[in-house]
Amino acid sequence: MDIAKYIGLYLLKNRYCYVHGFGNMELKKAPATYDGDNLQAPSYEVKVTPGGSIDDNLANFIATNEQISISKAANILREFSMQSRRTLAEGGDVEIPNIGKFVESNGKVDFITDENFSYTPAGIPTIKNSKQLDEQIIKLSHKPSYPAPAKADSVNWSMVILVVVLILVLAGGGYFIYNQYESTDTVTETTTPEVTTQPVEEFTDPNIEEATLPAEDTVVPEPIPEPIVIDSNTTMEFRFVIGNYPNKPRAERRVNMLTENGNVVSLQELDSTNFMVVTPITCKVVDTAHVKDSLKVMFGYREVRIIE
């Protein structure tokens, strides 16, 4: 199975590809250059970032095309990564067909893009509004019909009648409002009774004590701050346990082997019989379950969990 071919196909399809042991490969656009005489068009080149976001999308891609299980594809991909790292350590290089090759310089993995490599991103599809186009065609196929112009000496009697009726209605309404206003003033003047006011004696109950104001030095409790709510889309760094050993030498051998393969791991001692292998990963809170499943497949440890 040509794993290098699938790495190239997945990279061209998604513009990124995480390869275990190498890091995250990305297609990045280099800006146009001008040397004083010629203007060079923008180009694409492949950059490798150590670490990156661990996922099993490449293993799914290989399993789908080869009609095999995802776990089997992940194991084949892991063997390819280990063999390629050994090849780089011996001074060789690992070629990705038609794209470039991996090289190692001073213990650091880098990628050299092929001089003949060219990449053209997919175009943006356009959607025509067929309904609006049909309406425009119908309007153009039918000539508008306009009413015949009125003669200059003709009189629009309907408008004259409408104006006269409107004037009569406004006049009748004004007369009615005036009569209502006059009748209201007459009733108010004749029916308003005389009102006499008497002084109101102030009542004081000797049995009721005067209210005492709080002293100036009264302590006012501070408001309780609201709890901080963490959104499920918040990105945080989590520490995942990918191995647990009963003695320290076995745990140290596992840490050394994973470190040589390009993984970022550390050893944490819980007690004298529990030595945990821990790897830090930055991801969203909502993606922690997916990361756990990926780590189970990647490292073969079924009790992957998060610790503080």
282 alpha carbon, distance to own chain's centre: 16
What distance in Å separates the CA atoms of residue 86 and residue 88, rounded to the nearest whole number?
5
What distance in Å separates the CA atoms of residue 14 and residue 25, rounded to the nearest whole number?
10
The residue ranges of DSSP E strands in the chain, in sequence order, are 16-19, 23-30, 33-34, 39-40, 43-49, 94-96, 100-105, 108-113, 235-245, 266-271, 274-284, 305-307
What distance in Å separates the CA atoms of residue 257 and residue 249, rounded to the nearest whole number?
12
Domains and CATH numbers, the chain: 3-113 (no CATH), 235-307 (3.30.70)
Supply the DSSP symbol for 41: P
pLDDT reported for residue 125: 58
| Mean pLDDT in order along the chain per 10 residues (308 residues) | 87 85 82 71 80 78 90 89 87 87 83 80 58 62 56 72 91 84 56 48 51 52 60 84 93 92 90 92 89 89 89
- Return the C-alpha torsion angle 41, 47, 52, 53, nearest 10: 40
Closest CA to 111 of 11, 261, 3: 11
Q: Residue 238, Cβ neighbours under 10 Å: how many? A: 17
Return all residues near 156 (Cβ < 8 A) that are at least 6 apart.
150
pLDDT reported for residue 142: 56
Return all residues near 50 (Cβ < 8 A) that are at least 6 apart.
23, 108, 109, 262
245 alpha carbon, distance to own chain's centre: 39
| Helix, strand, coil content of the chain in percent (nearest 5) | 40, 20, 40
Rounded to 5°, the CA angle 119-44-282 comes to: 110
pLDDT reported for residue 257: 92
What distance in Å separates the CA atoms of residue 54 and residue 279, rounded to the nearest whole number?
11
Q: Residue 149, Cβ neighbours under 10 Å: how many? A: 6
Supply the DSSP symbol for 228: P
- Determine the length of the chain: 308
The answer to whether 101 and 111 have CB atoms below 8 angstroms apart is: yes
pLDDT reported for residue 111: 85
For residue 206, the SS3 value is coil
Return all residues near 99 (Cβ < 8 A) that are at least 6 apart.
8, 11, 12, 46, 113, 114, 117
